[in-house]
Amino acid sequence: MNGRTVLGALALVVIGLLTWELRWVLLVLFGAVVLAVALDVPITLLRRLLPLNRPAALIVVLVSLVLLGGVLGQLLLPELLEQIKQLTTLLPVLALRLSSLARQVDWLPDLEQQLMALGTWERLQPLGGQLLGLAGGAANTTIQMLLMALLAILLALDPRSHQKVIVSLTPSFWRPQMQKLLGESRQALGGWLAGMTLSAVSVFLLTWAGLALLGVPLALLSSLVCGLLTFVPTIGPTAATLLPLAVALLVSPAKMLQVLVLRLTLQNAEAFLLTPVLLRRTVNLLPTVALTAQLCLGALLGLPGVLLALPLVVVLQVLFEEVLVKEVMDHWN
């Protein structure tokens, strides 16, 4: 082993350690890139329709988002807050209902005794420290979200300058390929975000309509959770189904079965019909790849890793296809 090989191995180790130490900074930066691409999609569409420069188009998009949020807030926020309040009052009733159902099954432990055991002083004593840690984590997350939003606005304001910086750091013989990679990554990520947004809105509206027709309480809150968790494929829709099922159980087991059929129908229609149609021209992610990425990044980075796993896989898939497959494997004799 010569000296250059040793230096190369040490450099890789140092880069790996530095990347791990700066993982949260890199996570915030990548989240800002995702948000910037999300802003770039309507900005590009608006500039095609109107003779606006990029700063003016960005201002129009941001003002439109604020106005849309204000209108939706006035229409839906009062009912949503009321349903959240109702949910807090229904949780003890749900616990009692689950406990009564558990008593009817011999091999299930007594849920009521377990809940009472959790309420002992020894179990509640560490709760104060945990709440303080949770408050500190919430404040840290809020700061990171604000920085992410600011970075996203700056990136969306002048993306070409940032692309030029990345291209300039690339060796001269590979700069055209890097320019192509950046363009294709932006197109794939923008298409994925647009498709998933339409899919999430469709799931929200259809779930809200279905739960309202079935007469299930907390229909708006449950459908909002289902729509938001559509952005976390494979894991999100399954987890989102638990809330309407639990609320329907308070009405009757038959109502819970109806909600289960509704959610399974919508979930399969979204996964096998709507999403493939919306993403057919952008990117096709295998469910196994999506689930593996979510599990790995979730284990390493927690909930933020789960949320950003799919956008990262979209970008990595473009890189693998253009670099590993076309530049390496196709020329390997």
For the chain, domain boundaries: 22-120+130-157, 166-333
pLDDT at 117: 55
- pTM comes to 0.78
pLDDT at 137: 59
Q: Is 98 exposed, middle or buried (0-12, 13-18, 19+ CB in 10 A)?
A: middle
Mean per-residue pLDDT over the chain, rounded: 82
Long-range contacts of 289-294 (CB under 8 A, 24+ apart): 289/313, 290/233, 290/234, 291/234, 291/235, 294/232, 294/234, 294/235
pLDDT at 224: 92
pLDDT at 121: 47
pLDDT at 297: 84
Chain center to CA of 270: 16
Q: Is 210 exposed, middle or buried (0-12, 13-18, 19+ CB in 10 A)?
A: buried
Q: Give the whole-angstrom CA distance, residue 196 versus residue 38.
A: 11
Q: Which residues of 194-207 are buried (b: 16+ CB within 10 A; e: fewer)?
A: bbbbebbebbbebb
168: left (phi over 0), alpha (psi -120 to 50) or beta: alpha
pLDDT, tens digit (0-9, with 9 covering 90-100), for 287-296: 778 788 888 8
Q: Which residues of the chain have pLDDT under 50?
A: 107, 119, 121, 124, 127, 131
Q: Give percent above pLDDT 70 in the chain.
A: 85
